[in-house]
Amino acid sequence: MELKIIRSETKKEKPTGKLGFGKYFTDHMFIMEYDGTKWTNARIQPFQNLSLSPASSVLHYAQGVFEGAKAYKNKKGEIRMFRLNDNLDRMNDSAARLCMPTFDKKFVYDAIKQLVLIDEDWIPTEDGTALYIRPTMIATEPALGVHASKTYLMYVIVGPAGAYYANGLAPVKLLVEEHYTRAAKGGTGGHKVIGNYAASMKAGEEARAKGYDQAMWLDAKYHRYVEEVGAMNIFFVMDGIVYTPALRGSILPGITRRSVIALLRSHGYKVRECNVDIRKVADAAEKGTLQEIFGTGTAAVISPVGAFGYRGKEYVVNGGEMGDISKKIYDELTGIQSGRYEDKFGWVDIIK
């Protein structure tokens, strides 16, 4: 398929000041259509609104998936794409889970690369910033029966982004959620599908109303084993060993999670992917053997957890400060992304 490029005749004003997350979008977007048999009409075009039938199935039954990746520009002017192939693989897995068509990864990768290069002057260069890349696929058939749509749109929007949490690297507070669940065995928790996020909002709002930043999810059956956080996977350091919940289908297989495990192991840390019992974490906090908790995600990168609430009690982690392992891993991961450190795992594609 050919990729058509239609350049915008106008340029939007770029943001000045704090970028925040997900608020600004560049001048162009990538889009292509699935006509029932094949992807067609692929183009980079000016960023614009979509025109959809109000009966489109994504709007009724949430047949939609998305991804989040980042491109970095460093002081040398290099543009560095971090593990985009892994995001596109996961997107195809998510699409297949929702009976949506998959796409040619190489074609979409190249299209994103071109999009990023066209809007290159939007990529921020300050520490902690990047161009956030949001590939999205939605079902567009105007039909109200509950069945897989015949037609789809796939598009990619990009925009400059800073810290995901308002306070940047300041430790966040999480509330362990024992009532609502995010995902259960056999559900869609292990895929990046839009409905997962709608279902998670109530717990997030209730946590915020109680003074926490996000909910920490437990397993759906026992409400005892930690799963993940709103937009992050989660790690616990107890007695010198790093624990993270094993992927058993209800947790999103985070690309940052995978990267952090590889980095930690390369430094000789013991990393265990297993059940993480929240009662044991609370006990460790009381005994003083809980050293650190941190979240990992593309948007949040590494987010230290300074405290968690569980059964009416608040447990402070590492005196409410970012721990040494979190700091080291943040420095190393962002160093690889920006080119300060050698990319020894081959995660970065320098596209310019």
Per partner kind, with CB cut-offs from 5 to 8 A, the member of ligand PLP, ligand COI, none near residue 252 is ligand PLP
Residue 106's CB is within 10 A of a number of other CB atoms, namely: 10
| 27 contact, one of ligand PLP, ligand COI, none, CB 5-8 Å limit per kind | none
Tell me the C-alpha distance between 139 and 57, whole Å.
Answer: 6
Count of helices and strands (H, E) across the chain = 7, 18
Q: Which stretch binds ligand PLP (CB under 6 A): 9-17, 104-112, 235-243, 252-260?
A: 252-260
DSSP state of 193: B
Instruction: Say how many residues touch ligand COI, by CB under 6 A.
Output: 5
Q: Name the minimum Å distance from CB 87 to ligand PLP.
A: 7
Select the residue interacting with ligand PLP from 79, 252, 302, 317 (CB under 6 A): 252
Name the residue nearer to ligand COI (CB basis): 88 or 231.
231
Binding ligand COI (rule: CB under 6 A), the pick from 171, 245, 297, 304 is 297
Indicate the DSSP class of residue 13: P
Q: How many CA atoms lie within 13 A of 261 on its CB side?
A: 18
Q: Which residues pair with 32 in a beta bridge?
A: 154
- Closest distance between ligand COI and the C-beta of residue 297, in Å? 4
Contact with ligand PLP (CB under 6 A) among 298, 303, 326, 337: 298
**Dihedral of alpha carbons 332, 338, 342, 343, sign:** positive
Please state, in angstroms and rounded to a whole number, the distance separating the CA atoms of residues 216 and 194. 19
- Does 207 sit near ligand PLP (CB under 6 A)? no
Q: Does 254 bind ligand PLP (CB under 6 A)?
A: yes
Structure tokens at 298: 């593309």
**Residue 228 found at the interface with ligand PLP (CB under 6 A):** yes
295 binds ligand COI (CB under 6 A): no
Site string for ligand PLP, 124-163 (x = CB under 6 A): ----------------------------------------
- Contacts of 106 by beta carbon, 8 Å cutoff, 6+ apart: none
Is 296:256 a contact under the CB 8 Å cutoff?
A: yes
Contact positions with ligand COI (CB under 6 A) in 211-250: 231
Dist CA 352 CA 350 (whole Å): 6
Looking at the chain, how many residues does it have? 352
d(CA 261, CA 245): 12
> Binding residue for ligand COI (CB under 6 A) from 299, 302, 317, 329?
299
Q: Residue numbers of the site for ligand COI (CB under 6 A)?
A: 68, 231, 297-299
Q: Residue numbers of the site for ligand PLP (CB under 6 A)?
A: 68, 228, 231-233, 252, 254-257, 296-298
